[in-house]
Structures are given as C-alpha cells and as structure tokens.
Amino acid sequence: MLVDFSSKHDILIHHKDGSYSPMDEPYYEVTRIDETTWQIMSSGDYHYLLAGEDEAIAIDTGYGAGNLREFLEKLCGKPVRGVINTHHHFDHSANNCYFEKAYMAAEAVPLVSIPYNSFAGMDFFPDSYEKVVVKDGEVIPLKGRELQIFRIGDHTKDGIVILDRKNKYLFSGDEFMPHGKSVMGSVQEWNRNLKKIAQYRDEFTMLYGGPGAFPAEVFDIFNEAADLMSEGMETVPLSEEEEHPSLKQPDHDGHKVYDCQCPHIEDIPKGGFFAGAKNHTLIYKNYKFEYNKE
C-alpha cells in the first residue's frame, strides 16, 4: 500500500536546503541527534525516530510522499511497527497508515489522519491501522527506553508530550514554538499542565517538537510566562496581526510551491489558525504570548 501523490506532481516542495522537488517525490532530510535518535523532515513538521533494543518507534509522521515506515526501518536497521502522535493534526499524522498502530489521546481518535484541503482527492487510509489510546502518565513499551506520556492539550485538546528519560529529551509536538505561543484554552489550565511537567524538569535537557529543537530553558520561559498571566500581570490588547507568510503563495518556474514546513495556503482558515482565540499579549524574555484575558 502506497499513498498516491501523483495528482500533486506539478506542485513543488521547497526544502530547507533550498532545493525543490515534485510533491509526489519522496524526500527526506535527516539529522542524527544521537546513536538511537533521528530528526526527520519530509513535508509538514519535524518528526522523530527513536530506537530501542529490539525495535524502534516513530513520533509523528509528517505529510510527505513515500513509504515512511520503509525509510525509517532502513535508517535504524530495526522494525518500526508503531508511531506516537503528539496530536491529531494532519501534518503530524498523515503517514500513520504505513504503521501497524498509533498511540494517541482519546480525543484524537475521530480526528487523526483526516486530510487537509490541499490534499483533496487523495486517500490516506485513516482506518487501516490500530489506534491505541494513551492516558496521562502512561509508559509506552520500548525495550531499553522508557517513554512516558503527559497530557498537555493546549495547541489541541488531544495534545501530549513524551518524556524520554534515558536521553533526557521531551518530545513536545507543537506546544512550544520558537517565538512564543497562542494559548488556545484557559491560561489556568495551561499553567496547571506546565506545572505537572515541571515536576520532571531535571529529567530533560532538550525539547524536540514540530518546529525543531530547543534547549529546555525554553520550557522554563513558557512556565514562568504562564505564572505571570495567571497572576494577572498587566498586559496589552492584542494588535492586528501581520499577514501569515503562507498566505503569500510562492511560485517557481510557473509551478505552485509549498514550503516543506509552512502550512499550505488552502489549509489556513479565514482569519488564520488562531482567529478569535486571544485578546491580550504578554512579551516575556523576547517571547510573545497571546491569550484570552477573561
């Protein structure tokens, strides 16, 4: 079984190294984090491969062309039967169909692997794999490597992060962004979830998420900002946002172009992803936090 991208052949993907390739052509950029951990960019967001003693597991799957499972198994030399989804968004779950099972929060089950508008007409076989619901604090079985799940659920209600104690990594999906955050739920709930993870702060030194890799001090900044907002620190009304860069459709030699990591223009809701969600802004240590002040 191979997802058929042929209808998208005339669209180009712009990769991080500056090159272009047809959307239906498999393309992977790989960074080896350590001897048993890899960061992969195909198209969508960064996703990850974690090897245990006998097998490996993926964290998220992107939405690029090609048999991702086959590629990952060649990369690590071990079977890769499962994936952990940090949340249901299609740029993190499209290629779940190549795996036997996917671990996810209960809220993700009816939403996972549903294609975005820019993939109209393609079949990603969302019901072809087992969906395994994980709970807060649960440990995913991977021999020689303890992976503990924590519910955080703000970017999406089903959001989770994964603590890799052996290597001191926190795999964080889209919960921590490079320049700040739009708090989608209540600040109080977000703060409570951060405090739950903060109990394990000495057990991770790096964050690995959809946007890339960050030192764990970024978590500290977000955690401190959540305290300030919860305590009612004076903030300013949210100003009008600049146009999202993905709304400026690029072109290359007459071909429509999608950036390998930015959202596709057809997939951005009117007003943006976070329209109406926030009304105030906090700038803290050069990070911008947008939230709804009740």
Sequence ranges of the domains in the chain = 6-291
In this predicted structure, the answer to whether residue 50 has a pLDDT above a threshold of 90 is yes
Q: What is the reported pLDDT for 29?
A: 97
- 125, 97 in Cβ contact below 8 A? yes
Q: What is the reported pLDDT for 20?
A: 96
CA distance 39 to 209: 9
Q: Which three-class secondary structure state does DSSP give residue 119?
A: helix
CA distance 48 to 132: 19
Q: What is the CATH number of domain 6-291?
A: 3.60.15.10
In this predicted structure, the answer to whether residue 254 has a pLDDT above a threshold of 90 is no
Q: Which three-class secondary structure state does DSSP give residue 202?
A: helix
β-bridge mates for residue 149, sequence order: 162
β-bridge mates for residue 272, sequence order: none
Mean pLDDT along residues 100-121: 96
β-bridge mates for residue 281, sequence order: 236, 290
Q: What is the reported pLDDT for 126?
A: 86
270 vs 127: which has the higher pLDDT: 127
**pLDDT > 70 fraction of the chain, expressed in percent and rounded:** 93
In 3D space, the residue among 173, 129, 177 whose CA is nearest the CA of residue 151 turns out to be 173
- 206, 249 in Cβ contact below 8 A? no
| Eight-class DSSP state of 221 | H
- pTM of the shown model: 0.94
Q: How buried is 161 (Cβ within 10 angstroms: 0-12 exposed, 13-18 middle, 19+ buried)?
A: buried
Q: What is the reported pLDDT for 64?
A: 97
Q: Could you give the C-alpha distances from 73 to 36, 54, 128, in angstroms and in order?
A: 12, 12, 19
Token pair of 41 as six digits = 């960019």
For residue 227, the surrounding DSSP H or E stretch is: helix 217-230
CA distance 4 to 272: 29
Q: How buried is 207 (Cβ within 10 angstroms: 0-12 exposed, 13-18 middle, 19+ buried)?
A: buried
